[in-house]
Amino acid sequence: MCVLILIFGVGTVGFAQNPAFEMFMDGGDVFGGDTFTSTAQLNVLEPAEIQGWSLSLCNNEGMIPVGAQLGADASTVKNGALPDFETTILSDDAVMSGVVICFTGCAVLSQVQNFSMLDVNYQVLAAVGQSCWVDFCTAGTPPVSTVLVINGNSVDPITSGATFLIHSPNYLIFGHGLGVVGQTANLPVLISTVRPLDGFQIAGQYDPSLMTLTSVLASGVAASAEFVALSENLEAGEIAAGLIMALDTSTDIPIGDNQEVLNLQFDVNADLGGATAPLTTPVIFVESAGTPPITNKIVDANYNETPNLVNGDIELVDFNPFV
């Protein structure tokens, strides 16, 4: 019973942080909108008789805990069996957990390294390019502190939390196009995605002395899109367009790599603004374009992100390459 009392912060006898005891989590890279697992771990660098522990893990608003379970090592800490007592509580900004290894003292924990205490599942909420973090703390009501229970006393370990950088596994790509001087040019827009998408929008830029954007057409795996539009308020050289597969979200852009979804149509100036063909001109993504401003986004229900952006180009020739 005294171990339970110590774990839940009632009448504890505390000592200064002992560097021989360390609780930590490892950071890393995660994907926007994804669910990932991070493990609270323990190093014990000197002989000890650990009867139990408690910990709280506080996270910022960039992620939310959606599940937790004992780590692989903690699941067998009682001589190969589960501990006698374990409880874990989740809130939006913290995970609180407590363990008593054996009520009768039949098992204790001594020197270990990278001992897996608790696996926590987090849902990423922050945007691609941002970060989220978790740190050991005191949280909950009654408060659950981060301590080890050794010989009936609570010992504060040193702690180190983790930071996770949010990336995107998805890509919007301006492909490689072809055009004829005094006639037309076209450029495919491609998507690589690990999740089905309801739609997307793009913002780009090209050289208006060479070409003028005239229209956008749904193509490839998005050829059946219910809505595709080019912004009506564009400055010379701007690209701003959007596509929705189905207004009722019943149809998606499928998971896949380098899938064509849009074709940009241009009129090529006869004089190329004084330039000489053949030449290759870049088409690049910009932060926003059009009025009101359109940004680069992919959309899946309530989730959206700015994916990785890959620029493209158009080759302009002064003859019909198909004759």
Beta strands 162-167 and 171-174 are unpaired
Assess if residue 49 is contained within a domain. Answer: yes
Which of 149, 167, 185 is a domain's end point?
167
Q: Are 72 and 26 in contact (CB under 8 A)?
A: no
Q: Give the pLDDT mean for 270-295.
A: 95
Residue 203 backbone dihedrals phi, psi, to 5 degrees: -130, 125
3-state secondary structure the chain: CHHHHHHCCCCCCCCCCEEEEEEECCCEEEECCCEEEEEEEEEECCCCCEEEEEEEEEECCCEEEEEEEECCCHHHCECCECCCEEEEEEECCEEEEEEECCCCCCCCECCEEEEEEEEEEEEECCCCCCEEEEEEECECCCCECCEEEECCEEECEEEECEEEEEECCCEEEECEEEEECCCEEEEEEEEEECCCECEEEEEEECCCCCEEEEEEEECHHHCCCCEEEECCCCCCCEEEEEEECCCCCCCCECCEEEEEEEEEEEEECCCHHHCCCCEEEEEEECCEECCCCEECEEEECCEEECCEEECEEEEEECCCCCC
Judge if 6 and 44 occupy the same domain.
Answer: yes
Beta strands 303-305 and 297-300 are antiparallel
pLDDT tens-digit readout, 67-124: 999 999 999 999 999 999 999 999 999 999 999 999 999 999 999 999 999 999 999 9
Judge if 43 and 114 occupy the same domain.
Answer: yes
Judge if 153 and 175 occupy the same domain.
Answer: no
In whole numbers, what is the pLDDT of the chain averaged over residues? 93
Judge if 151 and 223 occupy the same domain.
Answer: no
Q: Is the bond into 292 cis (omega within 30 degrees of 0)?
A: yes
Which of 167, 201, 223 is a domain's end point?
167
User: pLDDT at position 322, please?
Assistant: 56
Half-sphere CA count of 165, side-chain side, radius 13 A: 5
> CA geometry: angle at 274 spanning 271 and 278, to 5°?
75
Judge if 195 and 127 occupy the same domain.
Answer: no
CB count in 10 Å sphere of residue 293: 12
Assess if residue 43 is contained within a domain. Answer: yes
pLDDT tens-digit readout, 137-160: 999 999 999 999 999 899 999 999
Q: Are 1 and 149 in contact (CB under 8 A)?
A: no
Judge if 92 and 150 occupy the same domain.
Answer: yes
Assess if residue 55 is contained within a domain. Answer: yes
Judge if 146 and 226 occupy the same domain.
Answer: no
Q: Total domain count for the chain?
A: 2
CATH no. for residue 263? 2.60.40.680
Q: Which range of residues forms the domain containing residue 244?
A: 171-317
Judge if 212 and 103 occupy the same domain.
Answer: no
CA–CA distance, 259 with 195 (Å, rounded to integer)? 13
Judge if 271 and 125 occupy the same domain.
Answer: no
Judge if 185 and 161 occupy the same domain.
Answer: no
Judge if 80 and 215 occupy the same domain.
Answer: no
Answering whether pTM is above 0.85, one says no
Question: 17 falls in which pLDDT band (50, 70, 90)?
Answer: confident
pLDDT tens-digit readout, 197-212: 999 999 999 999 999 9
Judge if 14 and 140 occupy the same domain.
Answer: yes
Assess if residue 322 is contained within a domain. Answer: no
Say if residue 126's pLDDT is above 60: yes
Which of 167, 188, 208 is a domain's end point?
167
